[in-house]
Amino acid sequence: MRNPVTGLIAALILAALPFASEAGVFVSVTIAPPVLPVYVQPPIPGPGYIWTPGYWAWDGSYYWVPGTWVIAPVGMLWTPGYWGWSGGVYLWHAGYWGPHVGFYGGVNYGFGYGGVGFVGGEWRGGQLYYNRSVTNVSTTNITNVYNRTVVNNVTVNRVSYNGGTGGIAAQPNAAEIAAQHERHQGPIQAQSEHQTMAMHDNGMRASVNGGRPSIAATPRAGAFNGPGVVASHGAAPTHGGGYPQGGGYPQGHGGGYPQGHGGGNPQGGGYPQGSAQPHGHPEQGHSPQGHGEEHPQSREEHPH
């Protein structure tokens, strides 16, 4: 049974938060979430998909919701959810779709989500274009691609929450605050079903997998078995196909933060979350660097 005092405290906190109704704060926990696992990104399954990073969810205990590719609503980008410390509890700020990427706690989820904005792709004329510097499009018939890089000047870590002891000390910038007030759409049905599948899979529990889930990422929402399913580094695959796949993009190649501000136009690139290395201390704010050059590319293959 939930402690009524804790519930009252959480309610008071939510009332005080300026963005509570916008960000979708639904869960409060007194235990910090585990660090983010290390994994590679499965190849994009086709045009129109966008990467949604994995995260730790809570329903009485922490369980991992694998990163996955989903069909993006046209013109929309995904702002990942994040855990934030406030008033003695960890609050979950749910992710959402919107025209620009808002604040997600400065958490370095990897694959274009380096803590500020999204540098994995952008909308151009109703079509998604993908930054090959951070997105695994190497084995897919994707013609809308470009290369854009950033200078890596940040301490890389796997901390999964904002604020509190050991948390990331990041605050929303002006553009992220503006994005927060735009019209949003919650997770699409495929994302909700994906989380439900993870919730019912005991192997996704941190108490069972020790923070190293055997299904860390999937090629599509709900595809927990078969080709393209990848395990986290150090995990023992147990779900048939939960092995790291050849050609996957590592979650950590440097962790460059974009110069941008959470908007829909990437301002650089890099492979966020250098998880293959011992993680550093939480960031005490961001020190963005300059723009990288963009090199649009075309490929001989054409989408079917």
What is the Cα Rg of the chain in Å?
A: 18
Q: Alpha helices of the chain — where are they, by DSSP H?
A: 4-16, 20-23, 174-180, 189-199, 206-209
Interval 147-163: pLDDT, tens: 998 555 555 679 999 99
Residue pair 279/156 in contact (Cβ under 8 Å)? The answer is yes
- Residue 245 identity (one-letter amino acid): Q
Gap between the Cα atoms of 268 and 292, Å rounded: 5
50-59, 199-208, 252-261, 278-287: range with lowest mean pLDDT? 278-287
pLDDT of amino acid 271:
32
Query: How would DSSP label each residue in 41-68?
Result: EPPP-STTEEEE--EEEESSSEEEE-EE
- Residue 125 identity (one-letter amino acid): G
- Looking at the predicted structure, is the pLDDT value of residue 62 above 90? yes
Interval 35-47: pLDDT, tens: 999 999 999 999 9
CA distances from 185 to 78, 96, 100 (A): 9, 6, 12
pLDDT of amino acid 196:
97
pLDDT of amino acid 149:
84
| CB-based burial label for 63 (10 Å; 0-12, 13-18, 19+) | buried
Calculate what percentage of the chain has a pLDDT beyond 70. 66
Interval 8-19: pLDDT, tens: 344 334 333 334
Which segments within the chain are labelled E, that is strand?
Answer: 25-29, 40-41, 49-52, 55-58, 62-65, 67-71, 77-79, 82-86, 89-93, 96-98, 121-124, 127-131, 145-148, 161-162, 217-218, 249-250, 294-297
Gap between the Cα atoms of 77 and 49, Å rounded: 11
- Looking at the predicted structure, is the pLDDT value of residue 218 above 80? yes
Interval 90-108: pLDDT, tens: 999 999 999 999 999 999 9
- Looking at the predicted structure, is the pLDDT value of residue 253 above 90? no
pLDDT of amino acid 238:
52
pTM over 0.85: no
In this structure, the number of other CB atoms found within 10 A of the CB of residue 51 comes to: 28
For residues 7 and 75, the model is more confident at 75
pLDDT of amino acid 27:
80
CA distances from 230 to 69, 112, 130, 132, 263 (A): 13, 18, 21, 20, 29
pLDDT of amino acid 25:
52
Gap between the Cα atoms of 128 and 122, Å rounded: 6
- Residue 242 identity (one-letter amino acid): G
pLDDT of amino acid 251:
53
